[in-house]
């Protein structure tokens, strides 16, 4: 099966760079599976796990929003933050989840609630990815 280079990049670092067979992302318009030689595109991503298939392995990466850019030579995911399962601190994500839920149930301003909802999504995304590699 053909491969292509997938890079997952944040402002801080290159989180992932491997030759892969397929990447599955949650785009704004729904789930998107990208194979080699896909037509070029740029689309925003939801806060969700990214699934990668390569050889006999599957990788899961917590990607917290951003964009996917399919180029002729490679596929690049640009995100504010992204983590490999082994880099995810479960206790930290659990605390972030609790904090966000308290903020949401406590009401407050519309902007605060929106911010807390995004933080909740990030925390749940991290916990989800950690769960997937354990399963």
Q: Is residue 96 close enough to count as binding ligand ATP by CB under 6 A?
A: yes
CB-CB neighbours of 38 under 10 Å? 16
107 torsion bin: left (phi>0), alpha (psi -120 to 50), beta (else)? left
Farthest-apart Cα atoms in the chain, separation: 52
Least CB distance from residue 116 to ligand ATP, whole Å?
Answer: 10
Least CB distance from residue 2 to ligand ATP, whole Å?
Answer: 31
Among 4, 34, 50, 64, binds ligand ATP (CB under 6 A): 64
Q: How far apart are CA 78 and CA 73, in angstroms?
A: 16
Q: Is residue 112 close enough to count as binding ligand ATP by CB under 6 A?
A: no
Least CB distance from residue 16 to ligand ATP, whole Å?
Answer: 13
108 torsion bin: left (phi>0), alpha (psi -120 to 50), beta (else)? left
Q: Is residue 97 close enough to count as binding ligand ATP by CB under 6 A?
A: no
Q: Is residue 92 close enough to count as binding ligand ATP by CB under 6 A?
A: yes
Q: Is residue 63 close enough to count as binding ligand ATP by CB under 6 A?
A: no
Which residues, in sequence order, are bridge partners of residue 93?
Answer: none
Q: How far apart are CA 82 and CA 68, in angstroms?
A: 13
Q: Is residue 93 close enough to count as binding ligand ATP by CB under 6 A?
A: yes
Binding footprint of ligand ATP on the chain (CB under 6 A): 12, 64, 81, 83, 87-89, 92-93, 96, 119, 122, 126
């Amino acid at each position: 099966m053909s491969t292509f280079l997938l890079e997952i990049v944040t402002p801080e670092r290159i989180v992932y760079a491997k030759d892969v067979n397929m990447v599955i992302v949650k785009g704004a318009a729904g789930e998107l599976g990208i194979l080699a030689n896909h037509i070029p595109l740029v689309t925003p991503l939801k806060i969700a796990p990214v699934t990668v298939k390569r050889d006999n392995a599957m990788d899961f990466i917590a990607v917290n929003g951003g964009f996917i850019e399919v180029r002729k030579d490679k596929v690049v995911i640009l995100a504010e933050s992204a983590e490999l399962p082994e880099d995810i601190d479960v206790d930290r994500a659990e605390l972030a989840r609790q904090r966000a839920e308290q903020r949401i149930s406590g009401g407050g301003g519309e902007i605060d609630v929106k911010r807390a909802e995004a933080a909740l999504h990030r925390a749940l995304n991290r916990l989800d990815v950690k769960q997937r590699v354990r399963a």
